[in-house]
Structure 1
Amino acid sequence: MNFLKSTNIPHLLFLLLVLGSCGKDKSKKSDEKVVVEDTLPKMKPLLHEKKLTASYVNSVKPRIAHFYNKLWPNNTMNGGFLVAKNGQVIFEKYNGYANRSKKTDITKDTPLHIASVSKVLTATAVLKLVDANKIQLDQKVNTILKTFPYPEVTVRMLLNHRSGMRQYSYFTDRNKEIWDRHNQLTNADILNIMATKDIGLEYKTGTRFMYCNTNYAMLALIIEKTTGLTYPVAMKEMIFKPLGMKNTYVFDFEKDKKTAVPSYKGNNVQIGWDYLDSVYGDKNIYSTPRDLLKFDRARNSPEFLNKNLRKQIYVGYSNEHKGRKNYGLGIRMINWETGQNFYFHNGWWHGNTSSYITLQKENVTIIALSNKFTRTTYAVRKLVPIFGDYPFGFHDEE
């Protein structure tokens, strides 16, 4: 049979046109890029702070220089030191080797490991997620991380170290059946071990303060679960990139172990990597004093958080017994009976030591980073009486 003769030609042409147009529409749709709305809460720079007068700078700079020379005579600091007010650098120094074997100098652009000062940045990302109603401050952790085994622990308790959890470095170090130290430990591994190996609490949840890195390793996982991004990417997108922190990154063991600035003992012996160097949130951010200055000013911006949430950062959560030392939400503090408050965070990992000080009333930022072990880094707090009524003296005991 002749097909053309037995078929209605106009109907056939119509059918071919319809099929052709459907094919084009399908092809067109497959070529279209799907635009996903970016709902990440991001830090914003603090702009237009009051410019310092030359007379003010000239009055305080010599005093800072004198302090620096007493603390590190003959430029013996191996790191970076910065003092700023209103976001404007008054004094900074960079000395020593980033890598002793290669004789590379530390400069203003050299990222150094900031150790536990990383906790301030992790807490900042978590608080931004709370402010954006992505998570709740008093939300149970096991509603976010489904295998988390401690039912009473909340996000707030991770931030203020009242979860009662044990240090991951302890329960992975002493028992080969729990963890083989020949393998790199990750945040996900810590969660899995706690969920499957019957790791008990050190203290009953909520009964006392105990500074514990496990809290911040879990907060990093909460950031990942909430944003759908890895912690390094989330931190970059929420904090580092919006603030122009170009020399700041989260350490990736496989990617960065050959290029990251190493750390040293006090006798200049290099300290090698170990099985804990893949855990982040509690540590493992590399940065510079100048980048941390940008971060500090953004944290002091009215746009950082809503007023109620911001106040809760600086409430002391660690005084079971009356005392001056306290801990808020990702920040250490000293509260004197006079009503004066001092906010800071120190860090120590391998040979790296760090100190971050934020004088809120005076808009002063003090940062010290070192990749050669020394407790002198923490002594920069003794500089603050230059700027306000803080009862520190140069010869104060640490």
Structure 2
Amino acid sequence: MKISRYIPILSLFIFFSCNGKDGKNGNNQNDTVLLAEKYEVSFPKLDSRYTEKERAFVENFYNKHYNPKDFSGGFLVAKNGQIIYENYSGYAYKEKSDKINADKPIHIASVSKTLTAVCVLKLVDEGKIKLDNSVKNYLPSFPHKETTVRMLLNHRSGLRNYAYFTDDKGVWNKKQTLTNQDVLNLLATKPIGLESRPGTRFGYCNTNYALLALIIEKATGKKYSAAMNEMIFKPLGMKNTFVFDDLKKKDEVSQSYKNNYLRLAFEFLDQVYGDKNIYSTPRDLLKFETATYSDAFLSKKMKAEMFKGYSYETKGQRNYGLGIRMLEFETGQKYFFHNGWWHGNTSSLVTLRKENVTIISLSNKYTHKTYQTKKLAAHFGDYPFKFKEDIGAE
């Protein structure tokens, strides 16, 4: 029997009803994300026996794979828009004794790309952008006529990464802060070249999403930060999410650390946004991920474009949609996710569309533990990942 994903909701804003003491330390069960009524996104309420069993399983997984005494960040698992388990530990700004909690935004690195992509797709729904238009339609100085918006979204543009070409002799003075407009100007005026002909192969590249942020600005007439706030953050009640686009305010945000808590300095690349530079929390990202099930938030047509693979020039399971990574198995099962890494910040957003499960892990102290989300996914669905350890659920 198919269960509807769309159940009318009472609130005009997103609200979490917390059963734990303070919503900070992972003891909450069945917290529910409610979205604006017009998005009509909710799910059947989870059975208390199910949530208790799953909470115990995930908590055991977290303790064994993350070590909360060492992990600095946030971790959340939800099903049907309801939080099964969450945990927060470490410091957002250790030198100020500022601890991470459920409301503390930290840098989500390349998970930002998924949010940028959804903003672009919403503008496609509104008729302000066309996926297969040349980038030059929106950014006239862009030098490659064959490159389309879709190629930026699915990393098939053939462009070089701005983090690398700014190392080329005579391209950029690293004593100056680089901006998105600077990235475009360099492509237009310097002999940057391409790594491959547009549309011929996949090549993950931050430049694509720096340019998409400029296209969003051109289509909306607003700064990227304002457009994201107006189209995504504010409507979904993501009160602890923002775009960082001013290095003068670097002391006001959560910091980034090496694995020994040595703080990492901001640098000349840290003002480019779209590919990175969104700060958020696991709870806010759950609101965003839950909203992507709504046809009112993002049309069925755009979701179909987003959650399909585009790169089949080589055989294998790995693929990329529009702002989302995926593994496509021979069974027909698809695993959707996006990871991130910038300085000491690592991140992972997993959206198991078949099971309505969300797994989010964010850290501001360098670690690969963030990516353990892949192992946990195998517990919730038929994902053929090796899971050697018995982490005790029964």
Fold conserved (TM > 0.5)? yes
Q: Is the 8 A contact 2:245 2:273 kept in 1?
A: no
The 1-side partners of 2:131 and 2:360 are apart by 29
TM superposition shift of 1:376: 1.0
Does residue 1:298 correspond to 2:303, yes or no? no
Q: Following superposition of structure 1 onto structure 2, how do residues 250-289 of structure 1 map, counting pairs within 5 Å?
A: 250-289=243-282
Q: Following superposition of structure 1 onto structure 2, how do residues 188-227 of structure 1 map, counting pairs within 5 Å?
A: 188-227=181-220
Q: Is the 8 A contact 1:43 1:298 kept in 2?
A: no
Does residue 1:372 correspond to 2:365, yes or no? yes
Provide structure 2 residue ranges, at least 5 long, that are not aligned to the other structure: 1-35, 390-394
- Give the 3 Å change call, closer, same or farther, for CA 62–393 of structure 1 in structure 2: farther
**Aligned partner letter, 2:55:** K
- Larger deviation, residues 251-260 vs 278-287: 251-260
Q: Following superposition of structure 1 onto structure 2, how do residues 102-141 of structure 1 map, counting pairs within 5 Å?
A: 102-141=96-135
- Give the 3 Å change call, closer, same or farther, for CA 105–188 of structure 1 in structure 2: same
Match of 2:146 among 145, 152, 157: 152
SS state at 1:138 partner: coil
Deviations 1:140-190 (A, max 9, x none): 110111101011000000000000000111111232x21100000000001
The 1-side partners of 2:38 and 2:112 are apart by 19
The 1-side partners of 2:215 and 2:138 are apart by 7
Deviations 1:292-319 (A, max 9, x none): 0000000111223332332111221122
The 1-side partners of 2:189 and 2:164 are apart by 16
Match of 2:165 in 1: 171
The 1-side partners of 2:186 and 2:291 are apart by 37
Match of 2:66 in 1: 72
Does residue 1:362 correspond to 2:355, yes or no? yes
- Larger deviation, residues 67-76 vs 192-201: 67-76
SS state at 2:252 partner: coil
Q: Is the 8 A contact 1:129 1:135 kept in 2?
A: yes
SS state at 2:157 partner: coil
Match of 1:53 among 47, 53, 59: 47
The 1-side partners of 2:272 and 2:37 are apart by 24
SS state at 1:343 partner: strand
Q: Is the 8 A contact 1:69 1:75 kept in 2?
A: no
The 2-side partners of 1:386 and 1:61 are apart by 12
Match of 2:31 in 1: none
Q: Is the 8 A contact 2:39 2:295 kept in 1?
A: no
TM superposition shift of 1:45: 4.7
Match of 1:388 in 2: 381
SS state at 1:366 partner: strand
Provide structure 1 residue ranges, at least 5 long, that are not aligned to the other structure: 1-41
More helix by share: 1
The 2-side partners of 1:341 and 1:74 are apart by 30
TM superposition shift of 1:103: 1.4
Q: Is the 8 A contact 2:257 2:365 kept in 1?
A: yes
**Aligned partner letter, 2:187:** M
- Give the 3 Å change call, closer, same or farther, for CA 43–219 of structure 1 in structure 2: farther
The 2-side partners of 1:338 and 1:44 are apart by 36
The 1-side partners of 2:287 and 2:109 are apart by 18
- Give the 3 Å change call, closer, same or farther, for CA 287–45 of structure 1 in structure 2: farther
Does residue 1:100 correspond to 2:100, yes or no? no
Deviations 1:229-280 (A, max 9, x none): 0000000000000000000000022352111101101121110000000100
TM superposition shift of 1:74: 5.1
Match of 2:234 among 223, 238, 241: 241
The 1-side partners of 2:294 and 2:246 are apart by 33
- Give the 3 Å change call, closer, same or farther, for CA 103–123 of structure 1 in structure 2: same
The 1-side partners of 2:311 and 2:302 are apart by 18
Match of 1:348 in 2: 341
Alignment: residue pair count = 354
TM superposition shift of 1:44: 6.2
Q: Is the 8 A contact 2:318 2:326 kept in 1?
A: yes
Does residue 1:231 correspond to 2:221, yes or no? no
The 1-side partners of 2:264 and 2:248 are apart by 18
SS state at 1:68 partner: helix
TM superposition shift of 1:395: 4.5
Q: Is the 8 A contact 1:44 1:298 kept in 2?
A: no
- Give the 3 Å change call, closer, same or farther, for CA 250–43 of structure 1 in structure 2: farther
Q: Is the 8 A contact 1:43 1:243 kept in 2?
A: no
SS state at 2:75 partner: strand
* Identical pairs, percent: 58
Match of 1:20 in 2: none
The 2-side partners of 1:181 and 1:43 are apart by 48
Match of 1:36 in 2: none
**Aligned partner letter, 1:193:** L
Q: Could you tell me the TM-score, scaled by structure 2's length? A: 0.87
TM superposition shift of 1:43: 11
- Larger deviation, residues 122-131 vs 311-320: 311-320
Does residue 1:328 correspond to 2:321, yes or no? yes
RMSD over aligned Cα atoms? 1.6
